[in-house]
């Protein structure tokens, strides 16, 4: 469910997931993305609330891969393959690797 939608500045929504092997507790989180002008650039603030610690650590390489795609899109370059980029980034996020192996 979308909780707040103020284009182009704010997008906030609920993320509900029933328990699955990757998320044994399920999720009932709120995600918020905000854009704000800052000097000659734009600041992106990403806020996750009510997300379990295990799931949160797993989001880091995925979010990184999505932001790489956003950067390419804004620069009018070919989008990197999300799955391949995610696999490349796993080593930079040891918490995800640790939880994925559990």
23-36 confidence digits (pLDDT tens): 888 899 999 999 99
- Residues 60 and 96: beta-carbon distance below 8 Å: yes
Are 66 and 102 in a shared domain? yes
Measure the CA–CA gap between 33 and 19, rounded to whole angstroms.
Answer: 25
User: What is the predicted pLDDT for the residue at 44?
Assistant: 92
- Output the DSSP codes for 66-84: HHHHHHHHHTT-PPPPHHH
Domain assignment of residue 1, given as a range: 1-51
Beta-carbon contacts of 73 under 8 Å, excluding residues fewer than 6 positions away, are 79
Are 56 and 94 in a shared domain? yes
Question: pTM of the predicted model, to two decimals?
Answer: 0.72
- Residues 64 and 89: beta-carbon distance below 8 Å: yes
- Residues 23 and 54: beta-carbon distance below 8 Å: yes
Are 30 and 60 in a shared domain? no
């Amino acid at each position: 469910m979308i909780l707040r939608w103020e284009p182009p500045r704010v997008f906030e929504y609920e993320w509900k997931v029933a328990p699955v092997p990757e998320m044994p507790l399920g999720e009932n989180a709120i995600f918020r993305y905000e854009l704000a002008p800052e000097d000659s650039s734009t600041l992106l603030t990403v806020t996750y609330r009510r997300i379990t610690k295990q799931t949160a650590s797993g989001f880091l390489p995925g979010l990184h891969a999505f932001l790489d795609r956003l950067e390419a899109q804004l620069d009018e370059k070919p989008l990197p393959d999300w799955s391949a980029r995610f696999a490349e980034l796993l080593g930079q996020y040891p918490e995800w690797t640790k939880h994925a192996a559990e």
